[in-house]
Amino acid sequence: MAERMIPPLADRDTGGFFAAAAEGRLVLRTCSDCGRVLNPPMAHCRFCGSWNTGWKDSAGRGTLYSWTVVTHGVHPAYPTPYTVVLVDVDDAPGARLVGMIPGEPSLRAGQPMEVWFDPAGDGAVIPQWRPVDAASS
């Protein structure tokens, strides 16, 4: 059985995102001066020119932007069908993240989504997104 792909945990720009995920937190690189989100994460704020940027916690709610149901697999650790989702993070305007849902769930644009933390292997944890269950929301 092939292993799933995992992120490097010590990358100088992006490692903090996955370090927080390992603690069950969703964080986004954010400018401490202008408040804009820098996604993918980087040290310099392109909006205001500040170097004063850091990791900011998110409540982990989002809105479904787009999705694709992958039916032709190219990697043995990712059996088809599976669905790749693009989710806009509600409390971090400008932050869009990716998630994967097994199978072919019924989805609609604008659907509320919530984060969960997926132990992907070798100590790596990746934030994932799933529809907010209508009954529990």
CA gyration radius for the chain? Answer: 16
57 binds another protein (CB under 8 A): no
Minimum distance between the CB of residue 135 and another protein, rounded to whole angstroms?
A: 26
52 binds another protein (CB under 8 A): no
Positions 78 through 107 that interact with another protein (CB under 8 A): 78, 82, 84, 86, 94-100
Dihedral of CA atoms 25, 17, 56, 109 in degrees, nearest 10, equals: -80
Give the C-alpha separation, 33 to 78, whole Å. Answer: 41
Name the residue nearer to another protein (CB basis): 82 or 132. 82
With contacts defined by CB under 8 A, name the span among 19-27, 28-36, 50-58, 61-69 that binds another protein.
61-69
Nearest one of 55, 56, 37 to 46, comparing CA atoms: 37
With contacts defined by CB under 8 A, name the span among 22-30, 50-58, 65-73 that binds another protein.
65-73
The number of beta carbons lying within 10 Å of the beta carbon of residue 19 is 15
List alpha helices for 8-113, DSSP H. Answer: 15-22
Which residues are paired to 129 by β-bridges? Answer: 115
Q: In the complex, which residues of this chain contact another protein (CB under 8 A)?
A: 3-8, 11, 13-14, 18, 39-40, 42, 65-72, 74-75, 78, 82, 84, 86, 94-100, 109, 120-122, 124, 126, 128
